Amino acid sequence: MTRTKNKRFDIIVGIPTYNEADSIANAVRKIDRGLFKYFPEYNALIVNMDSQSSDGTSRVFLSIKTKTAKTSITIKKRPRGKGANIFSLLKLSKRLGAKYIATIDADITTITEKWPILFFDPIIKEKIDFVAPIYTRNRYEGNTTNHFCFPLLYTWFKRRLSQPIGGDFAFNSRFAKYILKQQKPMNAFLYGIDIFLSTHAVGANFKIKEVYLGRKIHKPSFDKIIPMFQQVAATMLFVLPKYKGKHDISRLNIEMREKQRTDSFIRKPEPAKVAILKKYAFQNLQRLPVKNIQKYFGLNLEEIKTIQKSKSPISENEWMKILANVSKYIVKHKISDKKATEIAITISPFFFLRVLAYFKELDKTKDKKDIDVLIFRQAEKLRYLLTHSSAAIDFNKEKGYSNLQYSSFQTRKKGDKRAMNPHYSVTLTAIPDIPLIKKGDDVGAIILKCASDAGLTFEDSDVLVVTSKIVSKAEGRLISLASVQPSEKAREVARVSGKDARIVELMMQESQILNAEPGVVETLHRLGFICTSGGVDRANTAKPEEEKVSLLPINPDESAGKISDAIVRATGKRVGIVINDSLGIKYRAGSVGLAIGVAAMPAILKGATDEVDLYGKKRNVNISFADEIAAAGSLLMGQSKAGLPVVLIRGLRYPDEQGNLADLIATDQLKNDLAK
């Protein structure tokens, strides 16, 4: 045992324990190896904070041979729990002058010696304040995270913190000092400590980074789900209101980088334990004071009776509405420690019934990616309820058609209908500061740099809408009108239409002239679509006196593919690309953004042969997916001096298919019409 009096340490790793004699050795040895290997120049200390274990945990800890100094402290004061252990670690770290602190649970069997460098490198080298973990986990674990902590953090702060109660964190001394100054509810001294740290980190706007630690396997915690949830929920409900005036929920758009969260490793809870949880939930649901349910959840008596009599698990929609009402309550009222605990106890039977429903959903879900989609969808739905809906919540309308919508499109495999979220949302973000593009520029590289500078990241199934203008410029498709000699036919069309004869000549080089009348030249472009410009455009090309126009890229599909390839090489993410152009359509006023190039995504979403509408009539509709995306992107791009040529769209769902412009062209119909 190292004597710490009058000593100073740079790094301290704490291991909170209670009866972990059978597991602590593995964690200590891996931490010791990592500290010695990666931080030999730092004075490091491993600390065991023990809650008076009866199995000799501290004795086992001290008997382990390590190259790193270590010490053990026993927490005798009440309340005793993990939180009390962590607070003791923070006080010790302050006394010993530690700059970098981590806390790691003792029961993790999958810990490696790389964990210390993964935790401390971001703090030391990148000046990060708080490092949180990302693990791949057994799909039946993490229920308090998935259905309570994650959706609330995302809704309040637009932060996707994957494991806010993961148990393993690292932080600097600035964050530690901040935590020591905060008011601490009773449950924060127990299992509420992790969410206490995470919520303050997010709410106080500390610089946060998530690190991927791989698979997490530890002692099963399902037996402790009841007290764990109540302690975590009470702590979070106590802390959240502290930050209600410090964030504008409509403006925050901070995304954390995500990795796959669900592991292929599966360990179901024992059926007997699930039955006990179900019985507990139903019994306590009947015992809850009706006035508390009404007050905290905004439910009327009829709705409460419906839930109590149904004796069935709670759906995603019902649960998100309950969380929405709880959020509204804690925003409007002063929340004491006692009040937060009362709300947590009241909501817990509903939470357990949601978990039971989720288990049934898991049994039907084979693809682990779909599980992450489900969790993120819940969070999006909660945020929508709090930012878009002021209507009363009526559980009896749960079976209304808005909750039974299905996508018409095959997104995974033939015949697989995917339920559409009634609050399905898509976000559009313009990538700022794209410079004026010149011939020879690498458009993909420029997009990556500008996105990175703006703090934007790419995820699988994102879509980038890129205006054809910058692609044309990079490919040298700007033409000086001074170099164009119009033909007699071009002059004739110009006389009829009132267009510049030089531009008409370029239209003829790029397209087939179908019709000309005052103000309009209808063309069949070489790329296969009909438009009123031939793809020739004066806007945003050069100064007026230079008289330059742009032509569409030679092969927009190929151009889109190059941008997609650049993103895959740089990020490993598969991002769909749509190159759009604002085109005029005969008999329609104004112009509209249409797709002229597609990569890494389908251009058309094909309807299922057995699809029906809301009234049971058969439907088999194909959707011009790329065109709709192109038009959406144009909303942010503008048509003149907005200077936003690239738009990132997130939240779309589409199959892993490769489409192209040809998919969007009704070739046979076009040929027939032209023949007439």
Banded model confidence at residue 413, pLDDT cuts 50, 70, 90? very low
Identify which of 214-223, 267-276, 615-624 has the greatest average pLDDT.
615-624
Q: What is the pLDDT of residue 297?
A: 87
| Whole-angstrom distance, CA of residue 170 vs CA of residue 190 | 19
Task: Tell whether 454 and 512 lie within a shared domain.
Answer: no
| Residue 458 within a domain | yes
Q: What is the pLDDT of residue 159?
A: 81
| Residue 315 within a domain | no
CB 647 within 8 A of CB 431: yes
How many other C-beta atoms are found inside a 10 Å radius of the C-beta of residue 408?
19
CATH number at residue 498: 3.90.1660.10
| Whole-angstrom distance, CA of residue 423 vs CA of residue 651 | 11
Task: Tell whether 442 and 545 lie within a shared domain.
Answer: no
| Residue 353 within a domain | no
Q: How far is CA 428 from CA 273, 325, 448, 629, in A?
A: 45, 28, 17, 10
Q: What is the pLDDT of residue 313?
A: 75
| Residue 342 within a domain | no
**What is the per-residue DSSP string for 534-596?**
TT-B-TTSS-GGG-EEE---S-HHHHHHHHHHHHHHHH----EEEEEEEEE-TTSSSEEEEEE
Looking at the DSSP bridge assignments, the partners of residue 520 are 517
pLDDT digits (tens, 9 = 90+) for 476-525: 999 999 999 999 999 999 999 999 999 999 999 999 999 999 988 999 99
Q: What is the pLDDT of residue 147?
A: 92
Task: Tell whether 635 and 649 lie within a shared domain.
Answer: yes
Q: 3-class DSSP state for residue 376? A: helix
Q: What is the pLDDT of residue 16?
A: 97
Q: What is the pLDDT of residue 232?
A: 97
Q: What is the pLDDT of residue 414?
A: 38
Q: What is the pLDDT of residue 177?
A: 98
Q: What is the pLDDT of residue 262?
A: 44
Q: Could you tell me which residue, 335 or 3, shows the higher pLDDT?
A: 335
Looking at the DSSP bridge assignments, the partners of residue 550 are 478, 537
Domain boundary among 525, 551, 577: 551
DSSP class of residue 607 equals: B
| Residue 423 within a domain | yes
Task: Tell whether 445 and 563 lie within a shared domain.
Answer: yes
Residue 651 has pLDDT above 80, yes or no: yes
Q: What is the pLDDT of residue 269?
A: 60
Does the pTM surpass 0.75? The reply is: no
Query: Poorest-confidence range of 219-223, 607-611, 614-618?
Result: 219-223
Looking at the DSSP bridge assignments, the partners of residue 133 are 211
Task: Tell whether 575 and 542 lie within a shared domain.
Answer: no
| Residue 90 within a domain | no
Task: Tell whether 465 and 536 lie within a shared domain.
Answer: no
Domain boundary among 531, 551, 571: 551
For residues 401-406, average pLDDT: 29
| Residue 526 within a domain | yes
Domain boundary among 535, 551, 567: 551
| Whole-angstrom distance, CA of residue 244 vs CA of residue 434 | 35
Task: Tell whether 651 and 581 lie within a shared domain.
Answer: yes
Task: Tell whether 565 and 440 lie within a shared domain.
Answer: yes
| Residue 364 within a domain | no
Residue 396 has pLDDT above 50, yes or no: no
Q: 3-class DSSP state for residue 512? A: strand
Amino acid, res. 266? I
pLDDT digits (tens, 9 = 90+) for 12-48: 999 999 999 999 999 999 999 999 999 999 999 999 9
Banded model confidence at residue 562, pLDDT cuts 50, 70, 90? very high
Task: Tell whether 447 and 435 lie within a shared domain.
Answer: yes
pLDDT digits (tens, 9 = 90+) for 419-462: 344 445 789 999 999 999 999 999 999 999 999 888 888 998 99
Task: Tell whether 580 and 674 lie within a shared domain.
Answer: yes
pLDDT digits (tens, 9 = 90+) for 359-382: 787 766 656 566 777 788 888 888
**What is the per-residue DSSP string for 13-56?**
EEEEESS-TTTHHHHHHHHHHHHHHH-TTS-EEEEEEE---SS-
Q: How far is CA 651 from CA 126, 223, 427, in A?
A: 30, 36, 7
CATH number at residue 408: 3.30.1330.100
Task: Tell whether 528 and 664 lie within a shared domain.
Answer: no
DSSP class of residue 381 equals: H
Residue-number span of the structural domain to which 509 is assigned: 478-551
pLDDT digits (tens, 9 = 90+) for 327-343: 999 998 999 999 999 99
Provide the H-helix boundaries in 364-430: 368-388
Amino acid, res. 623? I
CB 295 within 8 A of CB 248: no
Q: What is the pLDDT of residue 259?
A: 45
Banded model confidence at residue 3, pLDDT cuts 50, 70, 90? low
pLDDT digits (tens, 9 = 90+) for 78-91: 888 999 999 999 99
Task: Tell whether 437 and 529 lie within a shared domain.
Answer: no
Closest CA to 536 of 581, 498, 579, 497: 581
Q: What is the pLDDT of residue 264?
A: 46
For residues 162-179, average pLDDT: 95
pLDDT digits (tens, 9 = 90+) for 264-305: 444 566 677 778 888 888 888 888 888 899 889 877 777 777
Q: 3-class DSSP state for residue 620? A: coil
CB 53 within 8 A of CB 21: yes
CB 320 within 8 A of CB 238: no
Q: What is the pLDDT of residue 540?
A: 83
Residue 104 has pLDDT above 90, yes or no: yes
What total of structural domains would you count in the chain? 2
